[in-house]
């Protein structure tokens, strides 16, 4: 089943550029040597969890340009580049509103903000538009704090889940191997 899925994906997946093509690309020329290192593209037990953790962290820490941040963080940490880039899709245009609400609720919980304290800082402002701006700034600040918590906790959870998934896959693969038959025992 897995082999069939791999063949189906490889037939339909866009072809990755060759190493020489990336080195000749004028936009990638400053970092072409670094990006083209094969260790950044291999799936190993260390690079996969790092890539997932960095991708999740970048997805929640900034709303725009998170793929570039994930790749920039993956280069020095020797994380898997494709996984770092793909896991940033946790926050996409369809899910960002959901994550913003979750981040706001988390921020409210950790900052101990409830309905009674919301807007307390803006009561002294008498101007209508200025008071509205202050309320939006308060909401954005609480949500930003929630996004920071989501980034840190999400990266840790992503690292752990990817590590356990890797170990499970390897153990399953080793379990399928046929047992080695040792040398024949002499008859007594």
Q: What are the b/e assignments for 156-167, b being 16+ CB within 10 Å? A: eebbeebbeebe
Q: For residue range 37-59, list pLDDT tens digits in order.
A: 777 777 888 889 999 999 999 99
Kindly state the tokens that stand for 131.
Answer: 């008071």
3-state secondary structure of 16: coil
Asked whether 125 and 90 are in contact (CB, 8 A), the reply is no
Closest by Cα among 80, 63, 92 to 163: 80
**61: how many CB neighbours lie within 10 A of its CB?**
20
65 pLDDT exceeds 60? yes
Model confidence band, residue 174 (pLDDT cutoffs 50, 70, 90)? confident
Q: List the alpha helices (DSSP H) in 38-127.
A: 47-61, 66-77, 81-86, 96-111
Query: What distance in Å separates the CA atoms of residue 100 and residue 63, rounded to the nearest whole number?
Result: 10
Return the pLDDT at 24.
Answer: 76
Ordered by start, the domain boundaries in the chain are 22-175
Which residue is associated with the tokens 């939006």? 136
Closest by Cα among 78, 71, 90, 76 to 28: 71
Query: Residue 84, by phi and psi: left (phi above 0), alpha (psi -120 to 50) or beta?
Result: alpha
Model confidence band, residue 149 (pLDDT cutoffs 50, 70, 90)? very high
Give ∠ CA 102-103-106 in degrees, rounded to 5: 85
Give ∠ CA 47-70-144 in degrees, rounded to 5: 125
CA distances from 23 to 17, 20, 28, 29, 35 (A): 10, 5, 7, 6, 9
Regarding pTM above 0.75, the answer is no
């Amino acid at each position: 089943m897995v082999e069939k899925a791999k063949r189906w994906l490889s037939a339909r997946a866009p072809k990755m550029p060759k190493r020489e093509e990336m080195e000749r690309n004028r936009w990638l020329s400053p970092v072409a040597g670094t990006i083209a290192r094969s260790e950044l593209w291999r799936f190993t037990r260390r690079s996969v969890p790092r890539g997932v953790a960095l991708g999740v962290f970048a997805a929640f820490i900034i709303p725009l340009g998170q793929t570039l941040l994930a790749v920039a963080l993956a280069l020095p940490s020797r994380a898997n580049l494709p996984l770092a880039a793909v896991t940033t899709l946790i926050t996409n245009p369809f899910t960002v509103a959901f994550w913003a609400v979750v981040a706001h609720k988390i921020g409210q919980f950790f900052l101990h903000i409830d309905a009674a304290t919301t807007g307390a800082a803006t009561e002294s402002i008498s101007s209508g538009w200025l008071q509205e701006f202050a309320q939006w700034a308060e909401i954005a600040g609480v949500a930003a704090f929630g996004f920071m918590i989501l980034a840190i906790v999400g990266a840790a959870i992503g690292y752990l889940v990817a590590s356990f998934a890797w170990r499970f896959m390897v153990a399953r693969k080793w379990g399928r191997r046929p047992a080695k038959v040792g040398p024949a025992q002499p008859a007594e």
